[in-house]
Amino acid sequence: MRNATRLQHVQPKATTKLADQVRVLRARGIEPINLATARPDFDTPRAIKDAAVAALNEPLTYILYSESRGLIELREAIADKLAAENGLDVDPETQVLATAGTHEALTIAFQAIIDPGDEVILFDPSWVAYVGMVRLAGGEPVYANLNEGRLDEDALRASITPRTKAILFNNPNNPTGTVFSRSELTTIAALAIEHDLHVLVDEIYEYFLFDGHVHTSIASLPGMAERTLTINGVSKAFAMTGWRVGYAAGPADWVEAMLRVHQHFISAPCTFAQKGSVAAFTVARHSVDAMVDTYRRRRDALAPLLMDMDGVTASVPEGACFYFPRFDVGLDSERLSQEILERSGIMLTPGSAFGPASEHHLRLSFASLPLPLVPEVVARLRTVLSELRFVAGPGGRSVDPPHARSSNTFREEKA
């Protein structure tokens, strides 16, 4: 079979690849500590479950398709949320589209606006899936490096060419945890207006804020509503990752174009999951507060331990649920990720998946890292880093010193 040419430049998503490794290890009797994915270890709030169950018990509801745009009551709840919390005025009839998670929202957004050869600017680092989404639409991703997690106006401006069609970023940033300030967003907005660019902003972590940081939606800035698509969903804030409900809100013509793609992709999101999502926005909004407080305590517990490790440089995240430390141990991030997994059973995402300038970093998610486990995780990492002090061999290959354990040690101990 000959695959489509466009797939030549689309790699498997790094976090999905790691999740597959978890299954392989479990099948061999090994239980790894998975810190590679942003999967909340909270339960979905009861009010949301009850709403979904009630929908299942309504005659015919669970077997009917919803309108392709999504249930009107969900779109109205989204519009109300955006007006109250984000300063956005959108028409639920024409400017809101319910999707199968933010993955689908972003994918069809690019399918709707990108022609072959169009360039899309991504920040480096940014979420691992963005590159594949752009390339599947025939676009070309172009990276604008962040400066220690913060916007670099010169780098962003230098990335703009006559072929640039859009800027895509997430706020708060995955993986750095940077919460972009109003000033930084104003800079992005000015460049987008100057060069007549589309802007896509992924706000899935908007509630995960620490130390008084405030989230601002770029679409609320002057001149931006007509060129910005705001993407969000219920997965993270409401512990609904498996429910697969997201949304896009923005200019009516862009949403209408997305709808045409969406109808041929999935037709409509799952109806009873949409019913549960209505409850998320209308009655379960403050359930996220306890989650954010727990994440803050996990972040704070990790901070001094990570910063005290030799060869590790870590910044305390302002939002989201990740650390993105740099490891100066002489290994590229993919090799280091594998060494840590094999030697300690801890799964971390390689920095190279987030952008070429993010090599030598690893992403550590504390979304499912219980506080009592923090010292053990750090102790295991410290041991691995100590073992990986190496001598450069022929061709730059790393050679473990005589005292290091073999890479099979963890497997042998757990077998």
Separation CA 391–CA 399 (nearest Å): 6
Domain ranges of the chain: 5-43+288-414, 46-285
Q: Running along the chain, 415 residues long, what does each successive block of 10 average in pLDDT?
A: 69 64 72 88 96 87 79 97 98 98 96 96 96 95 97 98 98 98 98 98 98 98 98 96 96 97 91 96 94 97 94 96 94 92 92 95 96 95 84 38 35 37
**By three-state DSSP, how is residue 146 classified?**
coil
pLDDT of residue 396: 37
**By three-state DSSP, how is residue 99 classified?**
strand
pLDDT of residue 173: 98
pLDDT of residue 15: 61
Of 369, 277, 204, nearest to 44 by C-alpha is 277
Asked if 92 contacts 72 with a C-beta cutoff of 8 angstroms, the reply is yes
- Top-level class of domain 46-285: alpha beta
Asked if 314 contacts 205 with a C-beta cutoff of 8 angstroms, the reply is no
Q: Is 5-43+288-414 a domain of CATH 3.90.1150.10?
A: yes
The CB-side HSE value for 391 (13 A sphere, CA atoms) comes to: 6
pTM, two decimals, is 0.88
Going by DSSP bridges, is the β-strand pair 228-233/164-170 parallel, antiparallel, or unpaired?
Answer: unpaired
